[in-house]
Structure 1
Amino acid sequence: MSPPASPPPPPPDADTRHKRERRKEARPGELLDAALDLFVEKGFAATRVEEVAARAGVSKGTLFLYFPSKVDLFKAVVREAISGRFDEWKAEMDSFPGDTGELVRECMLRWWERIGNTRASGITKLVMSEAGSFPEIAAFYTQEVIEPGNVLVRTILERGVKRGEVRDIDIDSACHSIIAPMIFLTMWKHSLGPCCAVQPTLDPRAFILAQADILTHGLLKPSTRTHST
């Protein structure tokens, strides 16, 4: 006579189910956070999806459920950390009450606070370093970050022209002039910045204020020039 069958295990209680559901919902964010760390630390080529999964505490198979490839993972990181915020920034710039000089300065400072002074700024250095080897990620970054960034800065300058604050200038070149100091700060932060013995310490906020002051004195008509504080 066979022994009686063991009773089935009891179903998980509500708290256990909720914990599992919360864990599942958190996984994409945890994977993106781990991927951002590793991409910035090691670069795109040297980062392996196994490392990302391990740092996030999941299996490689789980990672592929959310992101089919390393390129898809990289794109999701860029959207989460940088390009997904452009609508928010545009709304802030559109509603800004100050003059063009103040708006240029505020735009540069906000970029530093939200991107430049965070881990996400390492993505810019990664793309610049590895664009030749990975044209797909370079094209994606251009479409998702560089082009919207240029549009945002162009909108600021065109606003100044319409308000009679900005003189007749080559707006495309002026956009590059505003963005270039931000790129310099990014490269400094992820190269010589940590090596204080190599060069004097740079105060990013003071640098931005000086650049904004120099730029706006060149952009604005004499009667509308403002001074950085």
Structure 2
Amino acid sequence: MMEDDKVPEVPLRRRRKDDRPAEIIDAALGEFVMNGFAATKLSDVAQRAGVVKGTLYRYFETKEALFRAVVRHLQAENLAVARQAGFQDMIPFAQAVPTMLTRIARTVGTSQIPAIVRMVLAESRSFPDLASIWHDEVVAPMLEVLTAIISGAQARGEVAPGDPRLHAMSLIGPMLMGTLYLEVFRGSSNNWLDLEDLAQQHAITVLKGMELKP
């Protein structure tokens, strides 16, 4: 490639501007985890992100809008994991379930999702929008993906009849409870639970009830 054909380098100032929303989201996540929703101040988020408050408002008009962006950031990888495990090459349901649950356990176990879930449960009475945002951005999309996977497996004759949404709740419920258990009792003598172990054992148990016997 000739020198004149080289791709021009993006100026540092432009790169910095393009990175600002992600930096603000990361800073907000840290503040929410450390202080909770009510006690988090947008000025503290701005300071942590290294921007002035006016810049933060340019991207996020309210604290609720910023929280929604944080939730979308946290959920993106989990949805990708579920979709990949369930739809790649239309693998059999009995193989998709343990793979999906284990990957979700691994993702959740190394993220701030448990801390945010705990915050939502603790503060949603005072801030109802938190629960609505968590439902709309996390619960509903995940159930939609799982329901589609289960519906497909039912159509292939792999899963017993029944409401696929209820099957999805049965599939993911123990993982959610395990996530909350670890967050609530973190650091105590009851901290014996390993999410990946739970995922593997639950996959065996739930498949016995959901698989359509020949």
Give the TM-score normalised by the residue count of structure 1: 0.80
Pick one of 110, 123, 135 that aligns with 2:116: 123
| Structure of larger gyration radius | 1
Instruction: Report deviation, 1:125.
Output: 2.2
Residue equivalent to 2:47: 54
CA distance in 1, matches of 2:139, 2:174: 14
Residue equivalent to 2:207: 216
Instruction: Give unmatched runs, 5+ long, in structure 2.
Output: 1-8
Instruction: Report deviation, 1:32.
Output: 0.5
Instruction: Report deviation, 1:113.
Output: 2.4
CA distance in 2, matches of 1:205, 1:89: 15
Residue equivalent to 1:66: 59
Instruction: Report deviation, 1:220.
Output: 0.7
* Contact 2:68/2:137, CA 8 A, preserved across alignment: no
* Contact 1:169/1:219, CA 8 A, preserved across alignment: no
Amino acid corresponding to residue 211 of structure 1 in structure 2: H
CA distance in 1, matches of 2:114, 2:85: 21
Instruction: Report deviation, 1:83.
Output: 4.5
Q: Is structure 2 residue 91 aligned with structure 1 residue 98? A: yes
Give runs of aligned pairs for residues 122-201 of structure 1, distance below 5 A: 122-195=115-188, 197=189, 199-201=190-192
* Contact 1:166/1:221, CA 8 A, preserved across alignment: yes
The Cα RMSD (Å) is 2.4
Instruction: Report deviation, 1:93.
Output: 2.3
Amino acid corresponding to residue 162 of structure 2 in structure 1: I
SS at 2:11's partner residue? helix
Residue equivalent to 2:23: 30
Amino acid corresponding to residue 146 of structure 2 in structure 1: V
Give the TM-score normalised by the residue count of structure 2: 0.85
* Contact 1:122/1:190, CA 8 A, preserved across alignment: yes
Residue equivalent to 1:205: 196
CA distance in 2, matches of 1:175, 1:79: 21
CA distance in 2, matches of 1:108, 1:130: 28
Which contiguous aligned blocks of 4+ residues in structure 1 show a shift greater than 3 angstroms?
83-89
- Residue deviations 1:97-146, cap 9 Å, x none? 43212212222122222334311342222222222211122212212211
Instruction: Report deviation, 1:161.
Output: 1.1
Q: Is structure 2 residue 102 aligned with structure 1 residue 109? A: yes
CA distance in 1, matches of 2:192, 2:93: 30
Task: State how many pairs are aligned.
Answer: 207
Instruction: Report deviation, 1:213.
Output: 0.7
CA distance in 2, matches of 1:192, 1:93: 32
* Between structures 1 and 2, the one with greater helix share: 2
Amino acid corresponding to residue 133 of structure 1 in structure 2: S
Q: Percent identity?
A: 32
